Amino acid sequence: MPSTTDRRPLQVLVAAPRGFCAGVDRAITIVERALEIYGAPVYVRHEIVHNKYVVDALKDKGAIFVETVDDVPNGVPVVFSAHGVPKAVPHKAAERGLDYIDATCPLVSKVHRQAERQVEAGRHIIFIGHRGHPEVIGTFGQVPEGTMTLVETEADAEALTVDDPGNLAFLTQTTLSVDDTKAIITVLERRFPDIVGPRGEDICYATSNRQAAVKSIAASCDLMLVIGAPNSSNSLRLVEVSEREGTNAKLVQRGSDVELAWFEGVGTLGLTAGASAPELLVREVVNKLSDWFDVHEEIIESAKERMIFKLPRSLEAV
C-alpha cells in the first residue's frame, strides 16, 4: 500500500441519485418486518432484489430463498420478490394455505394492472423487455397466454408481425435503458400508428434518474464504476449508458472487485450504484480506492428523490 505522500490524487465524482430506490427499500423492509413478526425462517421466492450483499444479509437474519413455492414448507410465510410474480404463484400459495406477503414494487404492479386493462379492452400487448427477466415473466403471467408478445430490440420491432394492427398496445419493463426503449417505441409507433401506449412512462423514476445522473458526469470521467450485481438489469443499463457516452465502465459488486490495474491514466473516476445496491457498498469502494490514491470525492446531484412506498397493511399495523 503506498504511503500517504506517495499516493497520486484521484478525483471521484459520485453520481446522485444512486443506490436503493423506494421499491427496493420497501422490499427489504418487508422481509425484515416479516422476520420480526413471524420469526425465522421466512421464505422468499426468488432473490428479493438482485444484490448478493443484500440477499446474504437477509439470509443471516433467517430468510431462506427459493425459486418456487413448492419449496416452501407448510406453516411458514413466503414473501414474493420486488420483481413481481405471475398470478399463478399467489394462487398456488393460497391453495396450500401459505401466508404470503407480496413485495412487488408498486411501479411494477402498476404495469401489471395496465396489462390487464389493455387485454380487457381487446388489445394485444407488445411488451418491451429482456427475455427471462423475472419482471418480464411476472408481467406475462398477469394476462392469458397469447395476449402479449415480447420485443427486445429495434430489429425485433421492425420484424414484428401481428394479426390485428389496429388493436395494439405497448408496455415496458421498468428497468430498461431510457434511450433504447425510446428508439423501440419510435419503431412501433411508425409501423403501427394506432398503437396505444401507457399514460405515463413505464420505466421507473429511479431507473431514469440513475441513468441521467451517469450521463451528467460521464463526459468528465476517464472511467466509470457501477456498483451492482451482474443479474441486475438497472445496473447493467448504467454500464451501457456510460459507454454510450464514451466513457469505459466496469460493473463491480463491492470494493474487493476493484483492480488497481484499471486506473492507469485515470485522473477522474465516476462512481454510481444500481437501485439494488446499498450505500454501504459505495463507501466500501471509496475506502478501497483510498488505499491506493489520495481521493478527492465530490457528489454530483442531478435530481432529488423523495419517493416512499407504504408497506403492506398486514405489516404496517404491527
Nearest to 104 by CA among 74, 137, 130, 132: 137
- Partnered with residue 271 across adjacent β-strands are 14, 225
Using CA atoms, how far apart are residues 225 and 241, in angstroms rounded to an integer? Answer: 12
> Interhelix angle for 205-218 vs 233-244, to 10°?
30
Phi/psi at 152 (nearest 5 deg)?
Answer: -110, -25
Q: Count of CB atoms within 10 A of residue 70's CB?
A: 8
Phi/psi at 256 (nearest 5 deg)?
Answer: -65, -15
Site of grid cell 411508425? 190
> Interhelix angle for 178-191 vs 233-244, to 10°?
90
Taking every pair of Cα atoms in the chain, the longest distance, rounded to a whole number of angstroms, is 70
Using CA atoms, how far apart are residues 233 and 222, in angstroms rounded to an integer? Answer: 24
Pairs from 3-6 (Cβ < 8 Å, separation ≥ 24)? 4/294
The three-class DSSP label of residue 207 is helix
Residues designated catalytic: 135
